[in-house]
Structure formats: C-alpha cells, structure tokens
Structure 1
Amino acid sequence: MSRKYKFNNNDQMYFVSFAVINWIDLFIRTEYKDVIVKSLSYCIEKKDLKLYAWCIMTSHVHLIIGSAGNPLENIMRDLKRHTSETLHLAIKNNTKESRREWMLSMMENAGIANSNNLRFQFWQQHNQPIVLDTPKITHQKLDYLHNNPVAAGFIEKPEDWLYSSAKDYYTSTKGLLDIILIDPLVVTV
C-alpha cells in the first residue's frame, strides 16, 4: 500500500472514508447507523479519538479525525473490527431484515476471497486516510463530507441529515456526537 494512504503523523487531522463491501446500502436502517454512532462515541470516550466531522451515508462513512494519543491506525482498526462484528451479528439476528440472507452471503463470499479474514468481510479493506495539512484541503473535505447527502439527493440542506455533524456546523443545535469544531484557520490537532 502506498504511504500516501497511511496515518503518518498522529498530530494531524485526517479525512477517512470506509465502505461496506460491494457498496451494500446497509445504513438505510436506523439500528445499523446507531451502531456506528455508539462506536464512535465509545472511541471518543475511551480510545483518544478526536472527532471533527462525520457523516454516515447508506453504504459508507466519512470522518475527519485526529487523536489525543492513541495511534490513529489502532483506533481505526478497533473501530472497524468492532463495528463489523456488531453489525454482522445485528444483521444475522434481525428477522425483519428482508435482505439478510443476501447480505450475509455477500459478506461470507468476500471473506472467503480475502485471506485477511476468517469467516466474513464487512468493510472494504482500505480507509484511504488523507492528511488535512492546509486550510484549503481541510475545508474542501469538510464541505464534501457535509454535502454528500445533498449531492445524493436525500436532503436539500446539509444540516437536515441527522447522521452527520452538519447540524453542529450550520446551526446552534448539537448533533448526535461530541465533536470538536474545526477552526477555519487551524488544521493541526
């Protein structure tokens, strides 16, 4: 893997995205999105995650993150491992999930095809962390992240997307997670 896509400096903010295998639209259901929210909250409280911005789309997650000490690669590894196991089990146990067998089959087939997995694969392998080392790139990624649901045609204004930090940035209302607002002139953590 190229060094371009690694967490090289724990003192920087990074934009990361990670997607469900085969871009499965898993996060159309609230209970699955809530697993991500709870996991991010846990990582903020217990794993030194600094969360600056976030957005859960139907098949993927965007984050702007930093760390208060714990290496970012460890935080991301633990976050993805925990959410993959928790979401896999949630799908398996959700008798009302009409796509259950299809999704589980896709995950098991992806796991078989990838020697890094034992039983199944939930997330695509990469995070593609991009260091945010200038105000221009920081705000470009922040705008992209918050406008993703608008561009997808789900809403008209970013702050209307519940599973995002846009409410924190565009209104005086607090969103679902404790975030650190990005100062327009500062890009280091």
Structure 2
Amino acid sequence: MNIPHRKRRRAINEPGHAHFLTCSCWQQWPLLNGDRSRRWVLEAMQRLRTRLRVTIWAYVIMPEHVHILLRPQDREYEMRRILAALKAPVARRAKAHLQATHNREWLIRLTTSHGKRQVFRSWQPGGGYDQNLWSERPIQEVSDYIHANPVRRGLVDRPTDWIWSSARSHAGLPGSLLDVDKVVLD
C-alpha cells in the first residue's frame, strides 16, 4: 500500500497555550461511526484529563476524526504523550474487539507494514493537526467550529443535537456525555 507523503509539523509545547487537535482515522475510514468506538474515545478523553492533567474545553467525535480543544495544566508537557494517551487506548480496544469478534476482514484492512513488522492502525500515524491557541477569541472561534462540524456534514440540524460533542455542555443543557472544563486563561 502506497501512503502519500505527509508534512510533519513540530508541536510547540508552550506553557499556558491551548491546543486544537485533530486526530483522523486510518485512511479516513469511518471507524468512529458506532456508539461503542465513540465511547472508547470519551473514556480515553476522561483518562487523559486525569492522568496527564489537561483541561478539555471542547470536542466532537465524527465518524472518521476527532477534534479536541484542550489545555495542559503542567508547565512542561509533551504533545506526543497527550496524543498517545488519547489514541492508543482506542486503538487497543478496537483491535481487541475485532479479535474477540473474529472479524478477520477488518483486522487485515487495519494492519499495515511498517518496515519489517505488521502494525495495527486505527488512526493516521503522527501528530495529526495541532494548533496552539492563547487568546480568548480564537478559543471561542475554534470551539464554535468544533461544535458546527456535525451540522456542516448534515448529520444534525443544530450542534446541540449531536450527542458526541461538548455542544450540549457549552449550552448548559443536560445530557452531555462528557462535561467540559470552563475556559480560564491566566
């Protein structure tokens, strides 16, 4: 399989900055199209929040990608560790699920060669998209962009109709699957 060259973008780990992240599924396949896999992402976000001390300000889980707006609380952090804490548990659970259900077709489709070894891929490799944010206006604009994703795709009429995002939490409505943290800039 020939994978097109992707630009590498160096993450900037700047204390006090928020990060707008996008993690895409392998080959842009809709691997997050079901409730089970979306719950795995929510669980990974919750663990990320507590284990690596990040605040989560906004998120959306789409069928083939995830957007998340977060801010590390520690002065020193590595985005690669944060991304791994988000992506690796979801990939492990996906692989375990496919093995348990004997879904050989998808196990083969999601396995690729990396040098001489075979690697299971549910995510595109690398850091994905990572943009640093440090002021209130861009943070609100990114949050609005994140929440509007399902509307732009025609999945729902209003952002708050998509339960797989933080739009309900932002609107103060009940039924949010993962409450988000209040945006505080110091």
TM-score (norm 2): 0.84
Residue 36 of structure 1: CA displacement?
Answer: 0.7
Residue 138 of structure 1: CA displacement?
Answer: 1.8
Q: After TM superposition, list the pairs within 5 Å mapping 1:159-174 onto structure 2.
A: 159-173=160-174
Q: Which has the higher helix share?
A: 1
CA distance in 2, matches of 1:25, 1:42: 23
2:77 to 36, 59, 71: 71
CA distance in 2, matches of 1:160, 1:94: 31
Match of 1:54 in 2: 59
CA 1:170 to 1:29, structure 2 compared with 1: closer, same or farther past 3 Å? same
Q: State whether residues 111 and 118 of structure 2, in contact with CA within 8 Å, keep that contact through their aligned partners in structure 1.
A: no
Match of 1:107 in 2: 110
Q: Runs in 1 of length 4+ with deviation above 6 angstroms?
A: none
TM-score (norm 1): 0.82
CA distance in 2, matches of 1:164, 1:28: 14
Residue 32 of structure 1: CA displacement?
Answer: 0.9
Q: State whether residues 15 and 63 of structure 1, in contact with CA within 8 Å, keep that contact through their aligned partners in structure 2.
A: yes
- In angstroms, what is the RMSD of aligned CA positions? 2.2
The runs of 5 or more residues in structure 2 that have no matched partner are 1-7
CA distance in 1, matches of 2:36, 2:101: 10
CA distance in 1, matches of 2:59, 2:101: 26
CA distance in 2, matches of 1:168, 1:40: 15
- Listed one character per residue, the Cα deviations across residues 42-84 of structure 1 (whole Å, up to 9, x for unaligned) are 1212221211111100011000011122624212222212221
Secondary structure of the structure 2 residue equivalent to 1:129: strand
Residue 117 of structure 1: CA displacement?
Answer: 6.9
CA distance in 2, matches of 1:116, 1:53: 39
Q: Which has the higher strand share?
A: 2
The runs of 5 or more residues in structure 1 that have no matched partner are none
Match of 1:119 in 2: 119
Secondary structure of the structure 1 residue equivalent to 2:23: strand
Residue 116 of structure 1: CA displacement?
Answer: 10
Residue 181 of structure 1: CA displacement?
Answer: 2.7
Q: State whether residues 150 and 157 of structure 1, in contact with CA within 8 Å, keep that contact through their aligned partners in structure 2.
A: yes
- Listed one character per residue, the Cα deviations across residues 102-132 of structure 1 (whole Å, up to 9, x for unaligned) are 43222112xx0x3497532221123221011
Equivalent residues, number: 176
Secondary structure of the structure 2 residue equivalent to 1:22: helix
Match of 2:96 in 1: 89
Q: State whether residues 43 and 75 of structure 1, in contact with CA within 8 Å, keep that contact through their aligned partners in structure 2.
A: yes
CA 1:132 to 1:122, structure 2 compared with 1: closer, same or farther past 3 Å? same
CA distance in 2, matches of 1:48, 1:117: 34
Q: State whether residues 66 and 72 of structure 1, in contact with CA within 8 Å, keep that contact through their aligned partners in structure 2.
A: no
